């Protein structure tokens, strides 16, 4: 039996292949111009937020407070960040009559529109028909992969794959996350990058965790490198503890605190 969710999912015949061609152009003058930016649910990835807050020149905590809200799945789970529409016209806060004011750093979902990706089936599909998106009736024809390249989706897809190594890990999916402290840790590391930077460089973080020197130096000046370190730290705490090893002197101190000698620990583990 098909569920309502199954009915809403695109069917295999609706999926575009990599060698497909699409007709699409969004431009001022179309009757639907910027309408796709109104009263819509836009969920932001960590890389979306990194790009947007840097474009605006504000710290991540200010971006989150001013432009987003944090959602938690019923019964607990990892936090999801949603962009908040303006109250007066339900339009994206970064859109005006001329278009997107942060176009070069717009979120991944905006770059993909009017397409979306069906990850489990490996294809793309149109979210809306030509009745709603007049850009689909424009004469411009693109090979699908070429169009995706013009939208510069590559870095967004790459960073999301790394993010999914955390969010889609079976152990995390099975166990769930209902501890508010863990949820706060996840939100800070993945979405509030400037606060995570202070956590790394202004606390004992680097005294506890053994992080490669080149990674530390890169994370000091590169937000992408810092975000990758955040993913490793989250995986350490929520998924598997071997992706960010604790310094041996710290581990030894903890063993002594517990009254367990190194040799005894090895015997117990063996």
Cα 24 to Cα 29: distance, rounded to the nearest angstrom: 14
- Helix, strand, or coil (residue 266): helix
Domain range annotation of the chain? 15-157, 168-246
* DSSP string for residues in 186-219: HHHHHH-HHHHHHHHHSSSHHHHB---HHHHHHH
Cα 256 to Cα 137: distance, rounded to the nearest angstrom: 71
DSSP state of 95: E
- Helix, strand, or coil (residue 246): strand
Helix 223-234 to helix 193-201 angle, to the nearest 10 degrees?
80
- The predicted structure's pLDDT at residue 254: 42
- The predicted structure's pLDDT at residue 263: 46
Place of tokens 């990706």: 117
Cα 12 to Cα 147: distance, rounded to the nearest angstrom: 21
- The predicted structure's pLDDT at residue 6: 45
Burial class (CB in 10 A: 0-12, 13-18, 19+), 55: middle
3-state helix, strand, coil in the chain (%, to 5): 50, 10, 35
- The predicted structure's pLDDT at residue 77: 76
- The predicted structure's pLDDT at residue 94: 97
Mean pLDDT by 10 residues, the chain (270 residues): 45 74 92 93 96 98 97 81 94 95 96 81 82 92 93 92 80 63 89 96 91 95 96 78 54 45 44
- The predicted structure's pLDDT at residue 104: 97
What is the distance, to the nearest Å, from the Cα of residue 258 to the centroid of all Cα atoms in its chain?
Answer: 39
Alpha-carbon dihedral sign for residues 234, 237, 243, 247: positive
């Amino acid at each position: 039996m098909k569920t309502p969710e199954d009915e809403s999912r695109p069917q295999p015949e609706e999926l575009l292949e990599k060698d497909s061609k699409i007709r699409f152009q969004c431009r001022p003058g179309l009757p639907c111009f910027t309408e796709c930016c109104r009263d819509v649910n836009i969920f932001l990835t960590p890389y979306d937020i990194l790009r947007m807050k840097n474009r605006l020149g504000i710290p991540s905590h200010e971006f989150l407070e001013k432009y987003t809200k944090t959602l938690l799945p019923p019964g607990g789970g990892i936090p999801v960040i949603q962009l908040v529409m303006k109250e007066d016209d339900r339009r994206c806060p970064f859109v005006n009559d001329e278009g997107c004011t942060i176009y070069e750093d717009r979120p991944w979902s905006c770059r993909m529109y009017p397409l979306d990706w069906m990850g489990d089936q490996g294809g793309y599909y149109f979210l809306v028909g030509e009745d709603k998106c007049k850009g689909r009736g424009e004469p411009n024809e693109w090979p699908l992969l070429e169009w995706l390249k013009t939208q510069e989706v590559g870095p967004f897809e790459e960073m999301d794959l790394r993010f999914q190594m955390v969010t889609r890990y079976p152990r995390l999916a099975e166990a769930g996350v209902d501890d508010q402290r863990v949820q706060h840790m996840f939100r800070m590391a993945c979405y509030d990058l400037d606060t995570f930077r202070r956590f790394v460089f202004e606390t004992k973080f680097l005294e506890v965790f053994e992080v490669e020197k080149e990674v530390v130096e890169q994370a000091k000046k590169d937000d992408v490198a810092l975000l990758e370190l955040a993913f490793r730290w989250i995986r350490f705490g929520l998924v598997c503890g071997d992706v960010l090893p604790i310094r041996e002197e710290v581990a030894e101190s903890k063993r002594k605190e517990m009254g367990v000698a190194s040799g005894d620990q090895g015997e117990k583990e063996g």
